[in-house]
Structures are given as structure tokens and as C-alpha cells.
Amino acid sequence: MAEQHELRDKGLRLTPQRELVLSAVRELGHATPEEVAEKVRATHPGINLSTVYRNLETLENVGLVQHTHLGHGGATYHASEVLTHLHLVCGTCGSVGDAPIDVAANFVQNLADDYGFKTDVSHFAIYGLCAACVK
Amino acid sequence: MAEQHELRDKGLRLTPQRELVLSAVRELGHATPEEVAEKVRATHPGINLSTVYRNLETLENVGLVQHTHLGHGGATYHASEVLTHLHLVCGTCGSVGDAPIDVAANFVQNLADDYGFKTDVSHFAIYGLCAACVK
DNA sequence: CGCTAGTTGCGAAATATTCGCAAGTAGCAG
DNA sequence: CTGCTACTTGCGAATATTTCGCAACTAGCG
């Protein structure tokens, strides 16, 4: 079966908590540690916040999830697979929009050409005013 | 003299603490609230951290300073005048480089054209790997 | 079946930031 | 120059967020 555990592959132990954290991140698309914990608790009530934090960190180390900074303070986690878009955060209404990563291709290229800087565009959100608030 | 207090102009009271916070931000270029407090304390020891936070917030409201997200959690404040560059944060070595804002002009334009999103490029740092770490 | 090391739970500790409240003072009017 | 009022400050406590220590637990392996 192709179902060789990806967690095992990464050299991690396959614990129910760990799987739950990973699938919670995947289902939520993007979520704060607290939201992940909440989601996980829906099916496995006894889980501890510390465990969520530790697993998020662990999963990040092996590259299965990544975090982005959307707003003030709170980091937001994504499954790596879905990291194909930018986050457009509106400073006025607080909404978070998406944009395909290629609108930034040009920008990333500039940075690479002129500064040798290899940009990870999606790590930080793009801040500004959404179309609705511009009006 | 042209020295009409800019703080007064904005409808704020001119308190020594407030002036100190503002000039600390200007001198430091970019700094966390804690660094600002430290700087301010050099000349005015009795100042309170809460006061720094409150003044930073107040100054931001009237547009004299702005904050940017450079790393995990801590906001970093700038005087508005110097906000003419992007921050290139290296995820590996932690260095913060600058780039003129126009390397992003194209990108900003794309976002405006396609999404009506008015981007404030400098609010969030650009994350990636600096030239040195790419190697 | 039994071992060993990686994990979990839990509460405490470390940080970062915000708030309430009483005392202090800048700016304005008289 | 004097007094008044509202905006500010200091300070400590309250929150929020994330990290740690430690003992108990268990996944994976022989």
C-alpha cells in the first residue's frame, strides 16, 4: 500500500496526537495553535496545548507544516502542500484574502537577481487594504 | 521658526516622555518596544514600559511611527520618514537587509490591478534566505 | 514479551502586552 | 499669574501566549 506513514518516513513516531495535529492543520487550511488545539480536542478531548505546540514545532522541522505571520503576534500554521498562495491581510477589516503565488514571481525574481535573496513569499502576509476597504 | 511642534500639530500633548519615545524610534531606525524603552531610559530613567507601549500606539495613530513585523512575535517600530525600504529577513542567519521599495513596485501593481488590493509592502518583512546563507 | 527512547500531560515559569486607578501636569481661560 | 480640566504617567496586577521540567506512558524493535 502506498499508505506508508509519512510521519514514519520523516523519522517521527506515529502517535495519535501527532496525526491529529497534522490532519487538523490540513483541514483548517490555516490556523493558530489555539485553533488547532480546539479542532484536535473535538475528537480527542484529553489533548494538551503544550502537545499541540510541540507537535507543530516538530512537524515544522520535518517540513510537513509551515507557519506564516498573518497579524500581530499570532503565528498561523499551514500544511506545506497548500502553501501555494499569498495572504492578503486587510489592515482595516481584518479579512484575509488569497492570491496565487505567481503575482509575486516577478518580485521574487527581482530580489534574487539584485540581492541574491531567495524569498519565501508566503512566510509573511502581505499587508494593505482590501478592495472593499479602499472604497 | 518652522519648529512648531509636530506633536501639537497632531493634536497631542507635548510631554517629555512622548518626545523621548518619538526621538528614540527615530534614532534607532527600527526597534522593538523594549529597545525603545531601554533607549528612553538612558536619558529619563523613570519611564515606564506601559508608557512606551501607549505612546507607540498613540504615535502610530497619528501616523508619526509605524510598526513592521520582522520576526516571530515582536513588532518593530519605525519613524514614518524612514519607511522607504523593505526588510529582507534571513530565516537562517537572522540578518535583516534592506531593499529599496521599488523592487516591489511591480508586485504592488499586480496586486492592485488584479485584486484591487492596496498593498503596504513594508508592513511585513520579506522572509527568505540571504545571499550568504543560500550558498 | 520486554526494553529503550521518544512523547504526552500537567502545572509552573517565562514573556509580552494590556488595563485600572490614583496622582501629576500640559494647555487653556480668566 | 492662577486655577481648572482633560489628557498622561507610574505602577502593579491581570491577561495572553509560549516554553519547560518532570514523571508516567507507549510506539517500534528485537
Element holding A90 (H helix, E strand): strand A85-90
Q: Hey, is the C-beta of B114 within 8 angstroms of any chain A C-beta?
A: yes
> Of B43, B77, B82, nearest to B17 (Cα)?
B43
**Higher per-residue confidence, B7 vs A61:** A61
Q: Which residues of A touch B72 (CB under 8 A)?
A: 69, 75
Q: For A11-15, A53-57, B72-76, B102-106, which range has the lowest pLDDT when averaged over its residues?
A: B72-76
DSSP A128: E
| pLDDT at B83 > cutoff 90 | no
CB contact under 8 A, B99 and A114: yes
Q: For A1-10, A33-42, B32-41, B112-121, which range has the lowest pLDDT when averaged over its residues?
A: A1-10
CB contact under 8 A, B126 and A103: no
| pLDDT at A49 > cutoff 60 | yes
pTM of the model: 0.83
Burial B40-58, CB ≥16 within 10 A → b, else e: bbeeeeebeeebbeebbeb
Q: For A16-25, A76-85, A90-99, which range has the lowest pLDDT when averaged over its residues?
A: A76-85
For A91-115, how does the pLDDT look when each residue is reduced to its tens digit (9 = 90+)? 888 788 888 988 999 999 999 999 9
Q: Hey, is the C-beta of A117 within 8 angstroms of any chain B C-beta?
A: yes
Q: Hey, is the C-beta of A124 within 8 angstroms of any chain B C-beta?
A: yes
Output the distance from A74 CA to C16 C1' rounded to whole Å: 12
CB contact under 8 A, B124 and A119: no
> CA-CA distances (angstroms) from residue B93 to A87, B18, B98, B123, B135?
25, 34, 15, 21, 12
For B91-115, how does the pLDDT look when each residue is reduced to its tens digit (9 = 90+)? 888 788 888 988 999 999 999 999 9
Read off the pLDDT of each residue in A39-58 and give the average, rounded to a whole number. Answer: 93
Contacts 24+ apart (CB under 8 A), B97-101: B97/A115, B97/A117, B97/B130, B99/A111, B99/A114, B99/A115, B99/A117, B99/B126
Q: What phi and psi, each to the nearest 5 degrees, are found at residue A125?
A: -75, 165
Q: List, in order of start, the domains of chain B with CATH numbers.
A: 2-81 (1.10.10.10), 84-134 (3.30.1490.190)
